[in-house]
Structure 1
Amino acid sequence: MKRRTFLAGMVAVPVAGCGLSGTSNSGSSAGGQVTGEITFQTWSLKPKYTDYVNGVIDAFQQQHQGTTVKWVDQPADGYLAKVMADASAGTLPDVINVPPDLSFPLAKAGQLVDLDEVARDAKPEYLENAWQAFEIPGQGGCYGFPWYLNTGPLFYNKALFRQAGLDPDKPPANFDELEQYALKLAEKNIAILGQTPSIADFGLYGVKLFENGEFTFNEPKGVELVESYKRMYDAGALIPEALTQNYTGAGTKFMAQQTAMNPGSAYDLGKFKTDAPSLYANIGITTPITNTGSANMFLHGVSVPKSSKNQATALAFGRFVTNAANQVAFAKLASIFPSTTKGGDDPYFTTEDGSDEARVRVAAAKQLKTAVNYTPVQFSDQMREALLQQLADAMLGKKSPKEALDAAVEECNRLLK
């Protein structure tokens, strides 16, 4: 799941007039009155969440008389290019929806307000790991109010496990066990996965990804991981499509029961039940594969550019849209989780009702408290493509795992400079 597209699977729920109000302190220590007009830009939230966002805006305007929030929603395609073009032209909106890796180049260029300086009292309201995700490593400062988070379980097909003679109630818990299970499944011509490892998988494995200003995932642990995947690929435990750079069909292969395991979201169960009932009857649910003890986390946030002519109002709105009440309401409409410290205490995320969906949702919410955004903020889409290409070469035997990772790291560091 690409970190910037995890909203694509958000559940569409019709929203009655929300009229949301928040009680969070939405003032700003930046100085200035909360008044006047600002522009708020989101990333592909229309039309599913039009009523929700309008409800938040209405509540903010009612709480702060004399304010006007103009909402602009940009499509997912081309969002990165749009934001960077606006940054170059000095025309960024007052509040922008960004993930950490998109906030990084803007913050590095000095274009975003440092929340550690102007809204430090807001920090305790958010999960520490979420706040840290918008910091620039080694430089300090936080450049985005954390907004919505996501993580999820690992799904597996119990029927395929039984077919390979594996215990369907004891799925792999770490990467060594993953390879053991993969090789057993491959003996029955069953692929375990539909993807090669992402940069986040290297983090989950325990690889040091970035140190002293450069990428380092070609260290021995990184090579170990690629060697493991190479053995799995050679045995037939990865589908051939996994080597294609733009391949996004791993989830479809899992639903068609052509692979035995796939990461997902708490909200995928409903799709399985509707679109793949035979899979749903044999679905296994387990925690993510990790050597570190911490799951991976995806997140988005909202940042305030220094170019905003109304920073006080922009900061107040950024804090308001991401407060606990508004985040919990949003999370109940979509396949996301709140990033606030109090949001996760809502019974919706702590209480099971006997359904699989609630069990997975509660487990995922608990998992988020210690989850890590393993993808370095410096890691761009170009770098992702370079890594995928080198991994494909390693799987095909064109390069050794060490040679492939050395080439990937060299290219990523070149792109970084």
Structure 2
Amino acid sequence: MPTNPLSRRGFLLGVAATATAIGVSGCGLGGSSDNPDDSSGPVTGDITGEIKFQTWALKPKYTDYINGMITAFQKQHNGVKITWIDQPADGYLQKVTADAAAGNLPDVVNVPPDLAYPLAKKKLLLNIDQAAPGTGKDYLDASWAAYALPGQSGSYGYPWYLNTGPTFYNKALFRQVGLDAEHPPTNYAELEAAALVMAQRSNKQVAMLGLTPVIADFGLYGCQVMNADGTKFTFNEPKGVEFVEMYKRLYDAGALIPEALTANYTGAGTKFMNQQIAWAPGSAYDLANFKTNAPSLYANVGITKTITNTGKAVMYVQGLSVSAASKNKATALAFAHFVTNAQNQMAFAKLTAIFPSTKGSMSDPYFSNDGGTDEGKVRVAAAKQLETAVNYTPVQWSDQMTTALQQQLADAMQGKTSPKQALDDTVAKCNKLLAG
């Protein structure tokens, strides 16, 4: 149950595990590559028959919760049989891609927006706005929009749960170099200044940062990642270049670890837990993870808001999509809606550190009363952020694009190319992939 599919951005452990999202454009998916047909109209028919429901790394921790929902739905609808399939986090998205290519998508499948996009583009998912008109009114507008296909009408997934994160920092490491541990940086200029102090005063033994930026970070910095109609990437604009230039200064000073330049680097979370780096974007789940697996860090961990030039934090979305090839579409749609209704999402939120996507749910006192605990404080802070949070990662963004950005940023950090040229080359590559 990854709370953030972009594991290089949210590199700490998710609810069950963290996986790296893949882009599936050009990966041999079946179906038409034309625009989806939005004229199919509402799905009608009895809620009956058998369907398969696939989730992502929920067993064994949430077995009782999922089985309880299945049992409740089957009691409401005689003749329905739901087979639950839970896939491990490792290789999950590759498995979905392979099933899609073979025409074997489960009736209801857990996919993040960036995977729903190429599936929907190939007409492999139902347009929920067409198949079940009016459903979108039940969900927060930003979460419903996350499953939209740019340039087309409709949405291709029921938002299931949301997450965002505070930023964690290590108070002990701040104090060691004379930084104010009770007043962490609140903007990028302050973060750069603190990072440079930490690197200099520790003789480059302690770095502030453990990762180069991913595309969502450019959005947080205030870059226009794409043009208005979603047809071209534009993050090589001056603000994007300014952002990379800042990272270059940090890298040169030893404030960004050299390992961060390695493609698909996944060790930054471990370095933060081992108190070797001092600043870590995370999720509401992570504090409990620190408490259990890194108690010495937990005793020194500070919690602060996400730094953003837009005033809006990152929203991470997971959802349920319905296969266009399902033989029991009415049942699949009804079950996906049931799993993601306000009551079931609220119950899930109280089992683990996720947040409901349904309208009105965030007004529950659970999200405003911290109970005097650190975990409660993180929950309340994250819930507040979600009121205006944005999914900065375009659904068109693919794994190939991530790789291109990582490679060019590494070259820019090492002085092999300029920040401007690195972004120009990345945008050119990404726009070529987008057009292809």
Residue number in structure 2 paired with 1:175: 188
Q: Give 2:38's aligned residue.
A: none
Q: Matched residue of 2:83: which SS?
A: strand
Aligned to 2:290: 272
Is the 1:296–1:371 contact (alpha carbons within 8 Å) kept by the matching residues of 2? yes
The verdict on how the C-alpha distance between 1:261 and 1:4 changes in structure 2, with shifts beyond 3 A counting, is: closer
- Which residue of 2 is the match for residue 114 of structure 1? 127
Which residue number corresponds to residue 24 of structure 1? none
**In structure 2, how many angstroms separate the alpha carbons of the residues matched to 1:2 and 1:62?**
33
1:257 Cα deviation from its structure 2 partner: 1.7
- 2:47 maps to 1:31: no
State the AA in 1 paired with 2:376. Answer: A
Q: Give 1:387 deviation, angstroms.
A: 0.8
- The reply to whether residue 393 of structure 1 matches residue 411 of structure 2 is yes
TM normalised by structure 1 equals: 0.91
Deviations 1:18-66 (A, max 9, x none): xxxxxxxxxx952111111111111222222222111111111011111
Contact 2:4/2:317 (<8 A) preserved: no
Matched AA of 1:322: T
Instruction: Give the match for residue 239 of structure 2.
Output: 221
Give runs of aligned pairs for residues 102-181 of structure 1, distance below 5 A: 102-181=115-194
Among 259, 262, 277, the alignment partner of 1:241 is 259
Tell me the residue number matched to 2:278.
260
Could you tell me which of 200, 214, 237 is aligned with 2:216?
200
**What letter corresponds to residue 238 of structure 2 in structure 1?**
P
Q: Distance in 2 between matches of 1:142 and 1:315?
A: 13
Secondary structure of 1:316's counterpart equals helix
Q: Distance in 1 between matches of 2:413 and 2:45?
A: 57
TM-score (norm 2): 0.88
Q: Give how far 1:224 is off.
A: 0.8
In structure 2, the residue corresponding to 1:215 is in which secondary structure?
Answer: coil
> Alpha carbons of 1:344 and 1:29: their partners in 2 closer, same or farther (altered >3 Å)?
farther
Task: Give the C-alpha shift of residue 155 in structure 1.
Answer: 0.9
SS in structure 2 at match of 1:72: strand
> Residues 257-406 of structure 1: matches in 2 within 5 Å?
257-406=275-424
Cα distance in structure 2, aligned partners of 1:86 and 1:360 = 38
Q: Distance in 1 between matches of 2:61 and 2:286?
A: 18
Return the letter of the residue paired with 2:116. S
Identity %: 65
Which is further off, 173-182 or 101-110?
173-182
Q: 1:255, CA displacement in angstroms? A: 1.8
Of residues 356-365 and 157-166 in structure 1, the stretch that sits farther from structure 2 once superposed is: 157-166
- What letter matches 2:268 in structure 1? A
Alpha-carbon RMSD: 2.0
- Structure 1 residues 275 and 67: alpha-carbon distance in aligned structure 2, compared to 1, 3 A threshold: closer
Q: Which amino acid aligns with 1:240?
A: P
Query: What secondary structure does 1:223 align onto?
Result: helix
- Work out whether residues 4 and 99 of structure 1, in 8 Å CA contact, stay in contact via their aligned partners in 2: no
Q: Give the C-alpha shift of residue 86 in structure 1.
A: 2.4
- 1:298/1:373 contact within 8 Å kept: yes
Q: Which amino acid aligns with 1:152?
A: G
TM superposition shift of 1:326: 1.0
- The Cα of 1:272 is off from its aligned counterpart by 2.5
Offset from partner CA, 1:119-147 (integer Å, 9 cap, x none):
23221211111111111122221000000
Deviation at 1:8, TM superposition (A): 5.0
Structure 1, unaligned runs of 5 or more: 13-27
Task: Give the residue type in structure 1 aligned to 2:5.
Answer: R
Q: How far has the Cα of 1:284 moved from its partner?
A: 1.4
Supply the distance in 1 between the matched residues of 2:42 and 2:150 (Cα, whole angstroms). Answer: 24
CA contact (8 A) 1:11 1:267 kept: no
| 1:37/1:67 contact within 8 Å kept | yes
Aligned to 1:23: none
C-alpha displacement of 1:2: 5.5
Within 2, Cα distance between the matches of 1:278 and 1:112?
Answer: 46
For residues 94-128 of structure 1, the C-alpha deviation after alignment (integer angstroms, 9 at most, x for no partner) is 11110000000011122221112232322121111
User: 1:271 & 1:62 partners in 2: Cα distance?
Assistant: 36
Q: Distance in 2 between matches of 1:345 and 1:313?
A: 30
| Counterpart Cα distance in 1 of 2:46 and 2:130 | 18
Distance in structure 1 (CA, Å) of the matches to 2:86 and 2:355: 21
- In 2: Cα distance, 1:2 partner to 1:52 partner: 21
Looking at structure 2, the residues matched to 344 and 262 of structure 1 have their Cα atoms a distance apart, in angstroms, of: 25
| Shift in Å, 1:11 | 6.2
Out of 250, 261, 276, the residue aligned to residue 268 of structure 2 is 250
Distance 1:166 1:377 in 2: 39
Q: Distance in 2 between matches of 1:137 and 1:176?
A: 34
Counterpart residue type for residue 394 of structure 1: A
Distance 2:13 2:79 in 1: 35
Equivalent residue, structure 2, for 1:9: 14
Matches of 1:85 and 1:242, distance apart in 2:
30
For structure 2, which runs of at least 5 residues remain unmatched after alignment? 18-40
Query: Would you say 1:63 and 2:76 are equivalent positions?
Result: yes
- 1:19 matched residue in structure 2: none
Q: Which amino acid aligns with 2:279?
A: M
* Contact 1:11 1:335 (8 Å CA) reproduced: no
1:134-188 Cα offsets, whole Å, 9 max, x none, are 1112222100000011111101122222333322222112222221221122221
Structure-1 separation of matches of 2:281 and 2:154: 32
- Letter of the 1:80 partner, please give it: L
